[in-house]
Structure 1
Amino acid sequence: MSLSEPLFRMDSISKRYGGVIALKDASISIRSGAIHAVLGENGAGKSTLIKIMAGAVVPDEGRMLLDGREVSFSTPAAAMASGIVCVFQELSLIPDLSVADNIVISNPPLRFGMIDRRRQRTIAQDALARAGASDIHPSSLVKDLPLSRRQIVEIAKALARKPRLLILDEATSALTQSDVENVFGVLKRLRAEGMALIYISHRMHEIAALADDCTVFRNGRSIESYPAGSKTDQQVVELMIGREYVNVFPPKPAAAPDRAPVLSCRNLSWGDRLSNISFDVRPGEIIAIGGLDGQGQRELLLALFGVLRDLKGTIAVAGQPVAFRSPKEAKSGETSIALIPEDRKTEGLMLPMTVRENLSIAALRSVSKSGIIDRGVELARIDELLKLLAIKAATIDMPVGALSGGNQQKVVIAKWLMNRPKIILLNDPTRGIDVGTKQEIYALLRKLADAGAAIIFYSTDYDELIGCGDRVLVMYDGSIIRTLEGSEINERELIASALNVNSRAIEQRIGK
């Protein structure tokens, strides 16, 4: 292979599923020692592209070249044998096995026909160290790890296979900020070692920090390839969505109506994770929760939804003190509460079940009479929500797992809207979805608030906190340390508050 020749190339790749065209004449070239970002909305063809690269899907047309020689992969094992390994967005780990078992599961070291446990542990330790996660013990059960740590194990598992081309599909979407920084360091080191990497992310700042080359996909086609940094974010987004990208966030109301709070917390505490939290939320308000990841934001949402036990302090809904013993109690009654969870794959959806079944499952009581589902009421409510959220599904009787990530997230939101909740809690609701779908969700949240819902959402994205929040509650070490309003809701104040320092110190540090 010459120095100018790419390590891996795809020419005019096409793939159809019945009458649906997933890819059409798609092409891409990947260099050794470079990080190649693949950009596009959900449904643009990115997932099909990497599945073909990884041997999980066989293309209908086109060719692939590795080291200048034409190749084809009928199975993932064939692709891995050629040095192509993919870290998919959906984790492939087995929860009841140890970290070490998962890392070597496809090719465990053997001694006298038995698994060599000592060698297995060494391989796992080396892979974890290479993934920047030496703190994860190889003997730990995967099910005992938080989601962000499981994602790191998935990356270590891929590195244990010694890839020449490593594909990462939304590999940082479940990570904490510290884990993201560690992974960035790992990827840069792998690039310096000469590895070729494909990086798929909807986070534009990650692309700017990592990528050397970029290719944009839209409607199953490769639209344009270009050197990273040669286009503005707005130009890139317009290539992705095929239209001018303006008004990302809907306008905020001039002032929130002075209404009685629909939800109040006073001195809410839980173990060492929540401490003396007090705030009010009024109908029509969007309250954003900020702060560094892991400061108690998720626990606060779970406490409000009746998941946590042994809470101290008080929660009042519509002026009445409540002590929910379960989510079932929280979602019942006239002032019902809904929680859109962090991980749609494991907490929000039942992937093998249909779109209809997933939409109805949280609202069976409201669409039933005498314990029997009223199909007319159910279908009318589903049709209303499909239109409201613009959910793209060929039929409501298709498995929800067959939808794109953005449409799956819309189904999670629609499922809880079936109950017509008055209080809506959202845990990082746009994680891992494309910019077009994000924009639709922002508009939906404002529409729901304008209709009288009280919305509380946690996000790791400062732009979302600034663009959506009428007020931002910044959490630090389990407490709300600051409430930002109006012109205070800006990146400098958010960062300073998240670090629990004075914003003037931030100004001095960055030279403003």
Structure 2
Amino acid sequence: MAEGSPGSLLRVEGITRHYGGVRALEDVQFACRAGSIHALLGENGAGKSTFIKILSGVVQPDRGRIYLGGAEVSFATPKAAADAGISCIFQELSLLPDLTVADNICIADRPRRFGMIDRAAERRRAEAMLALIGGEDIHPAAPLGSLPLSRQQMVEIAKALARRPRVLILDEATSALTAADVGKVFTLLKRLRTEGLAIIYISHRMHEIAELADECTVFRNGRYVETFAAGTRSDDAIVEMMIGREYSSAFPPLGPTKRDGKPALAVRGLSWTSELKDVSLDVQAGEVVGLGGLDGQGQRQFLLALFGVLIGVGGEIELDGKPVKIASPRRAKSPEFGLALIPEDRKNEGLMLPMTVRENLSFAALDAVSHFGRIDHKAEAQLIDAVVRQLAIKSDGLDGPVAALSGGNQQKVVIGKWLMTKPRIVLLNDPTRGIDVGTKQEIYQLLRRLAEQGTAILFYSTDYDELIGCCNRVAVFYDGTITRVLQGTDLTEHNLIGAALNLTSAANSLH
């Protein structure tokens, strides 16, 4: 049984939810106390997302009971859950990009005067909530869609807190945040805990769980596994509970890199507006080169520039020693150039959610399976089947909507559709954000196999452990340019952090 039921603010018993013949949750129990942070752990597909959707009124359970403050409750709508005091910050943002920041924060309860929306009061409330979370740099009148993903995530948090919840649920809420914003959110959550909130915290980052959680509950394959006090289980033991098997080392061993030939990709003096300044870097075939540094220092723009997304890029790009002009993504992915870009935001930039798994997988490779404007469906099916097996994509069929897949399997589809183009150079923009530990390990193994086959890989990650474990070298960005390149024994977390802050001690560590 889930511990902590006596005195729990929120308690569930026997929650079950099926989607057709697919079991999302089966007889799940859970309990959390006021004034505590309760971590909910499990792989993608373990049932966490369905569970919090039930708690927040997005979907209803087939059976089971929910108790809030000792009284049995049920929520037919998200508004009913919010009115009862349950606010959820979903990993995929629930914001309206065409409205302002203030509109989004106050949308559930907009202040009114004489029957009209009181814009001045709305702005004051938004400013107060942004100040509460440490987002004073976000202007309440700014269009939400004009903000980068990390600032939109801060707005999502402010929006949830504006409802004055008793129970706050965070689903990978820090995955898109900068390191500085993560620190602000952690400080806020610790203060809210002292003020008596019950906080349910979902994260695949074990160091976050170690810092924040009072209790932990593990789900696996839609079932409750165990609840325990934070700090009483090792990380390996927790991961084994999550995946149901013995946990092996996360990172496969690095292979040797040959640096005696022409690089697969060479960049000289790449510049774009004020965000990229004289960037130079080369990547050999079979090499994994990481892009490090604090978030927002030009790493994403660098990948977009290489893939032909940005207009007005200066500098030189060479592929296999030959100068090229990459004027568009279509040119970048052509067999002549052979680039692939795995984007940061899989929902909005990587997938067409209403379309099927099959359609999403084949989209990038349609040119390769088409003749005179007609798709060769037999060739298409063979490519799709091969990549589904290669990535172990789990779905109830390739003709269902990709939106129905778990986050980890959606990311596999994004990667798989680009592997179908048979790229020679792969650009990855924080590809494991919000992905469970088991799927992360599969992606690490995939990167190693691609490198062994001669693929050149540029890998941006906000996770220092990934950069150290996956990369032969790491180029650290600061203020739009590369200031350090770390490799071998110099590639350590201490040196990565120092270089990210542009400290002179980090430079000295290279000599």
Partner residue in 2 for 1:399: 401
Aligned match of 1:370 in 369, 372, 386? 372
Which structure 2 residue ranges, 5 or more long, are not aligned?
Answer: none
Question: Secondary structure of 2:367's match?
Answer: coil
Name the residue aligned to 2:495: 493
1:244 and 2:254 correspond: no
Alpha-carbon offset, residue 112 of structure 1: 2.2
TM-superposed deviation, 1:106: 2.1
Secondary structure of residue in 1 paired with 2:12 = strand
User: What is the aligned counterpart of 1:60 among 52, 62, 66?
Assistant: 62
Structure 1 residue aligned with 2:99 = 97
Partners of 2:331 and 2:337 within 8 A in 1 = no
Task: Tell me the equivalent position of 1:115.
Answer: 117
Aligned with 1:84 (options 79, 83, 86): 86
- Confirm or deny: 8 A CA contact 1:35 1:210 kept in the other structure: yes
Q: Offset at 1:16?
A: 1.1
Output the amino acid matched with 2:146.
D
Is contact 1:130–1:159 with CA below 8 Å preserved after alignment? no
* Match status 1:308 vs 2:315: no
Question: Hey, what does 2:266 align to over in structure 1?
Answer: 264
Would the aligned equivalents of 2:257 and 2:284 in 1 still touch at CA under 8 Å? no
Paired letter, 2:465: D
Q: Is residue 41 of structure 2 the alignment partner of residue 50 of structure 1? A: no
Residue deviations 1:388-411 (CA, integer Å, cap 9, x gap): 110011111111111000000000
Q: Aligned to 1:364, what secondary structure does the other structure show?
A: helix
Equivalent in the alignment of 1:41: 43
Matched, 1:278 2:254: no
Contact kept, 8 Å, 2:257 with 2:286, in 1: the verdict is: no
CA distance change for structure 1 residues 83 and 236 in 2, over 3 Å: closer, same or farther? same
User: Would the aligned equivalents of 2:58 and 2:78 in 1 still touch at CA under 8 Å?
Assistant: yes
Please state whether the residue corresponding to 1:365 is helix, strand or coil. Answer: helix
Match of 1:235 among 237, 252, 256: 237
1:440 aligned partner: 442
2:210 aligns to what? 208
**1:510 matched to which residue of 2?**
none
Partner of 1:192: 194
CA distance in 2, matches of 1:393, 1:182: 37
* Contact 1:259/1:283 (8 A) holds in 2: no
What code does the residue aligned with 1:411 have?
V
190-199 or 266-275, larger mean C-alpha shift: 266-275
Query: What is the Cα deviation at residue 189 of structure 1?
Result: 1.3
Question: Are the aligned partners of 1:15 and 1:21 in contact in 2 as well (CA < 8 Å)?
Answer: yes
Distance (whole Å) between structure 2 residues aligned to residue 482 and residue 449 of structure 1:
23
Q: Shift in Å at residue 145 of structure 1?
A: 0.8
Question: How big is each residue's C-alpha offset from its partner over 1:407-442, in whole Å with a ceiling of 9 and x where there is no partner?
Answer: 000000111111101000000010000000000000
Aligned residue in 1 for 2:132: 130
Contact 1:257 1:284 in 2 (8 A): no
Please identify, of 336-345 and 358-367, the stretch whose mean Cα deviation from structure 2 is larger.
358-367
> Does residue 1:168 correspond to 2:167, yes or no?
no
Counterparts of 1:71 and 1:307, CA distance in 2 = 50
Tell me if 1:426 matches 2:428.
Answer: yes
- Consecutive unaligned residues of structure 1, counting only runs of 5 or more, are 508-512
Give the match for residue 12 of structure 2. 10
Structure 2 equivalent of residue 384 of structure 1: 386
- Contact conserved, 1:492 with 1:503, CA < 8 A, in 2? no
CA-based RMSD of the aligned residues comes to 1.7
Report the 3-state secondary structure (helix = DSSP H, G, I; strand = E; otherwise coil) of the residue aligned with 2:309.
coil
2:347 maps to 1:345: yes
**Counterpart of 2:479?**
477
Matched with 2:455 is: 453
Residue 328 of structure 2 corresponds to which residue in structure 1? 326
Q: CA deviation at 1:176?
A: 1.0
1:347 to 1:504, Cα distance in 2 relative to 1, 3 A: closer
Which residue of the partner structure matches residue 73 of structure 1?
Answer: 75
In the aligned structure 2, how far is the partner of 1:185 from the partner of 1:321?
49
Q: Which runs of 4+ in 1 moved over 4 A?
A: 502-507
Cα deviation for residue 466 of structure 1 reads 0.7
Give the C-alpha shift of residue 62 in structure 1.
Answer: 1.7
Q: Give the conservation status (yes or no) of the 8 Å contact 2:14–2:27.
A: yes
Point out the more displaced range, 316-325 or 121-130: 121-130
TM-score of the pair, normalised by structure 2: 0.96
Task: Tell me by how many angstroms 1:182 deviates.
Answer: 1.1
